[in-house]
Structure 1
Amino acid sequence: MSHATPLRFHAATSAGSLVGSPWQLAPAPAPELRASVIIPAKDEAATIAATLAALAAQVDAHGHPLPPRSFEVLVLANNCQDATACLAREFGACHPGFALHVAETTLPAPEAHVGRARQLLMDEACRRLEQAGQPLGFIASTDADTQVAPTWLAATHAALAAGADAVGGRILMNETAPGCPVRRRQLQDATYQLLHTQLAELLDPLPHDPWPRHHQHFGASLALTAAAYRRVGGLPAVPYLEDEALYQALLHHDLRVRHCSSVRVYTSARRQGRVAVGLSWQLQEWGRLGEQEPMVPHPAGLVTELCLRQQLRALWQQAQAPETLPVALRHLAGAAADYPTFGAFWHWAKMQLNPGEYAVLPLSEAIRELRQVLAALRR
């Protein structure tokens, strides 16, 4: 079993679109628009009101309400069998100062997945920001079973204003009992991932994403500027893990992704989700394993990959002469100039290097090993 959904990245894209935009009736964006929040919603009648209430309560860093016309919310109720759209519209009617636009669509079978729904939303959000004359305004994605923190938009804007092109927010779970075995496994996995980010900070640090940071860049809290969205060609229309596909596209173009700990959301811990592979799928997998530990990549493999990445980054940036590279890497030197971005070069180089498979370890053992590696590096 793979230990986390990004390792199960599904690269197959959908065929050509079978549906048009469902947003023809939406009013024009306000000239003051700075952020367009998108929410794909399929049978979310039980949670959509709480999701919208959290967005309606957004404040700045000083606790003052955000100007109501500075952001809007787009909800796409797709393939619903319940009253999701009706309840969203009722919320909007009860909050007339809240810029909420609700659309409904029934996606045909080849496109009836969250990747296509989120793509329709992000495409429209980008178009509206550009129509408002705000290419540096941002698209902010969340989910219909998620409540964003009161400063979610303000903290996202601050990270973008500091130089990021995209921001992944910290995604925390609610509705979990302290003694729940799945909850314990989720906390173990988060520990492993955060130790991995500390390892990356030591071996291949990124100036735009310094420690402290986290490891998440998923649809429940992922934002990027309209300009960055255009740069990568939009959201890939994959059936699931579309957020990971977008993240990989951002890296491919050397766009600056900040994993900002002050950007936070709280999402459902349900195990019956709306997507084939996502958080609910991961929780199901952990529950199915019971006391059996998931197997994760060996820390030695993580160290090797991060060291390779750092060396090849220096080569691509011409900060390191090819003859100073390890012999095993010198054959890559001539290709570095063929790639306009390091992200594209690294993607190619990893396929050429194939350093071999490292043994996997049980999660708790890998955590112990990672802590030992980090302690040795710091010494």
Structure 2
Amino acid sequence: MTALAGVGHHEVRSPFSMPDLSLEGPGPRSASTEEAELVALLASPPFVDKAELTGFTGSLKRGCDFAIAIPVRDEESRLPATLEAISTAMHGTPFTGCAVFVLNDTSDASPKIIERWALRGGIPFLAVEVSFDRTICNAPHSRRLALDLAARAAPQGALFTTDADTMVGKGWIDKGLRLLSEGYDLICEDVLLDEAELSALPAQVREVGDAERAYLGLCERLWRHWTRGRVSTLAFRPSGASLVMKTSSYLRLGGLPTPPVGEDRALCDAMLGAGFAVKAMENFGTRTSARLAGRALGGCGDALAERVLSADPECDSRLKPVWLLHDEATLWMEIFGGTSRGFHARSKTRAPMTFSAVQRELRIARKLAASYGLGNA
């Protein structure tokens, strides 16, 4: 570990105590310079007085075409597969990149695993260890810090983010960069669960996921039919396991939102609300863990656990009944009527649909789609 004289257990108080180093050039950087920038960043919102820098290894490479941000917390058993997939994706592209890891409140061997991986593969990296106050001790703040650092590594390029229990596809970087070059600001990949882990769970877990995906696909077709194709996408299912964005768009947005959970959806909603172009993309190889004991309270692990234990588990909160979808489409046509690329359909807060309700609505949607000649699913 890099020695942090005066930094371990140091309480940062002033957000103005360090100079802004974000525009420093790509030349060699001393440990003291790296340390100063990290301390300054932790003295800025949303971390003020709630985060300590406890260590770091590596150095932030500047002027990259892309940078990958990965939040980590006690993931030594999952990290090797995650890192191997990232290495394959990075070595499979001609563009230059680096990896940024933020390890919050970690007590296992994750830092050493990351360091050995990066040095063995010749991958530029920065692994930052922090201790968060309990009020921000969560994945959203860890990802926010990783993305803020990544943005300094690739200020004119692209940001990628994934999870420490996820294996990205080998073409992840190339496909993400290509889609951004088509004019999109944010790409949300439809991430699938690891097949081996999913197969070990009760059949209902897979059935719920399949029903959600089929219903969302049919609702998308019905929505386009009812709005005459004037709206690009009905609903997005962003996952922190695979997001790609332009650094410039991320900075203009003001950074990653930091709710206690669901920062991926909050980011997508904020991008759409600000008029940025968001693309919902089919799966291109990323697989994430189907473990039931996840690191994020209220995250994927908790949702999967409910699907194991409940006779009628709740489904994706963005799914809605066919009648409500039709009413929203009708209202949109009456009020707006024209093309609106940035339109994002939202309804008032309502209880999530259960699995049985989605199955019922799926049958209705299939009949409607067939009656309109839209095909089946």
Could you state the TM-score of these two structures normalised by the residue count of structure 1? 0.75
| Residue 144 of structure 1: how far off its partner (Å) | 0.4
Partner of 1:40: 71
Partner of 1:55: 86
Name the CA distance, whole Å, in 2 between partners of 1:156 and 1:120.
21
| Residue 85 of structure 1: how far off its partner (Å) | 1.3
Name the CA distance, whole Å, in 2 between partners of 1:49 and 1:118.
19
Partner of 1:279: 300
Alignment partner of 1:27 out of 35, 49, 59: 59
Q: Which amino acid aligns with 1:121?
A: A
Secondary structure of the 1:220 match is coil
The answer to whether the 8 Å contact 1:253/1:343 transfers is no
Name the CA distance, whole Å, in 1 between partners of 2:190 and 2:213.
11
Alignment partner of 1:166 out of 180, 183, 186: 186
Matched, 1:86 2:112: yes
Percent of residue pairs bearing the same amino acid type: 22
Matched, 1:223 2:244: yes
Secondary structure of the 2:198 match is coil
| Residue 301 of structure 1: how far off its partner (Å) | 0.6
Secondary structure of the 2:286 match is strand
- Larger mean CA deviation between 293-302 and 362-371 belongs to 293-302
| Residue 277 of structure 1: how far off its partner (Å) | 1.6
Partner of 2:152: 127
| Residue 263 of structure 1: how far off its partner (Å) | 3.4
The answer to whether the 8 Å contact 1:188/1:363 transfers is yes
Matched, 1:103 2:128: yes
| Residue 93 of structure 1: how far off its partner (Å) | 2.2
Name the CA distance, whole Å, in 2 between partners of 1:314 and 1:112.
45
Q: Deviations 1:299-329 (Å, cap 9, x if unpaired)? A: 1111212332344443697xxxxxxxxxxxx
Secondary structure of the 1:106 match is strand
Closer, same or farther: CA 91–125 of 1 in aligned 2, 3 Å: same
Name the CA distance, whole Å, in 2 between partners of 1:108 and 1:359.
35
State the Cα RMSD in Å.
3.3
After superposition, where does 1:150-189 map in structure 2 within 5 Å? 150-174=170-194, 175-177=197-199, 180-189=203-212
Closer, same or farther: CA 364–234 of 1 in aligned 2, 3 Å: same
Closer, same or farther: CA 170–21 of 1 in aligned 2, 3 Å: farther
Gapped regions of structure 2 (runs ≥ 5): 1-44
Name the CA distance, whole Å, in 2 between partners of 1:208 and 1:160.
20
| Residue 260 of structure 1: how far off its partner (Å) | 1.7
| Residue 240 of structure 1: how far off its partner (Å) | 0.4
Alignment partner of 1:65 out of 85, 92, 100: 92
| Residue 231 of structure 1: how far off its partner (Å) | 2.2
The answer to whether the 8 Å contact 2:140/2:259 transfers is yes
Secondary structure of the 2:282 match is strand
Gapped regions of structure 1 (runs ≥ 5): 1-12, 318-340
After superposition, where does 1:118-267 map in structure 2 within 5 Å? 118-130=143-155, 134=156, 137-174=157-194, 175-177=197-199, 180-204=203-227, 209=232, 215-261=236-282, 263-267=284-288
Name the CA distance, whole Å, in 2 between partners of 1:149 and 1:232.
27
Higher relative contact order (CA 8 A, sep 6+): 1
Alignment partner of 2:138 out of 104, 113, 133: 113
Matched, 1:306 2:337: no
Q: Which amino acid aligns with 1:226?
A: T
Name the CA distance, whole Å, in 2 between partners of 1:187 and 1:302.
20
Closer, same or farther: CA 23–79 of 1 in aligned 2, 3 Å: closer
| Residue 214 of structure 1: how far off its partner (Å) | 8.7
Closer, same or farther: CA 254–263 of 1 in aligned 2, 3 Å: farther
Name the CA distance, whole Å, in 2 between partners of 1:106 and 1:190.
38
The answer to whether the 8 Å contact 2:71/2:163 transfers is yes
Closer, same or farther: CA 50–377 of 1 in aligned 2, 3 Å: same
Secondary structure of the 2:127 match is strand
